[in-house]
Amino acid sequence: MKLEKPRAPAPRARVCGVDAGRPLELFCEDCGRCVCALCLTLVPHCRHSVRLMTHAVSHNQGEMVAAVLVV
């Protein structure tokens, strides 16, 4: 019998606490927070500058890590 190494759990997507668990796919550069697409229609973020998280990582990695930990 061959023993297999335990697998690391798959990373879970962070979800929005405001909008019923929608995935956090965007980064609001004005607030320095991760947001969902629906958050962009709400007053706090509606006119803010946002990027896809995948594009923002290289420019804002430190801020994004802190933002994810806050949410």
Domain spans of the chain, in order of start: 26-70
pLDDT for 1: 58
User: Residue 34: phi, psi to the nearest 5?
Assistant: -80, 135
CB contact set of 40 (below 8 Å; sequence gap of 6+): 26, 46, 48, 50
User: Quick check: 71 pLDDT over 60?
Assistant: no
pLDDT in tens, 16-60: 888 778 888 888 888 888 888 888 887 777 788 888 877 777 775
Q: 71: Cβ–Cβ under 8 A, 6 or more apart, which residues?
A: 14, 16, 17, 24, 33, 34
Task: State the Cα–Cα distance between residues 49 and 56, nearest whole angstrom.
Answer: 11
pTM value is 0.60
Per-residue pLDDT at 60: 59
- Evaluate if residue 9 carries a pLDDT over 60: no
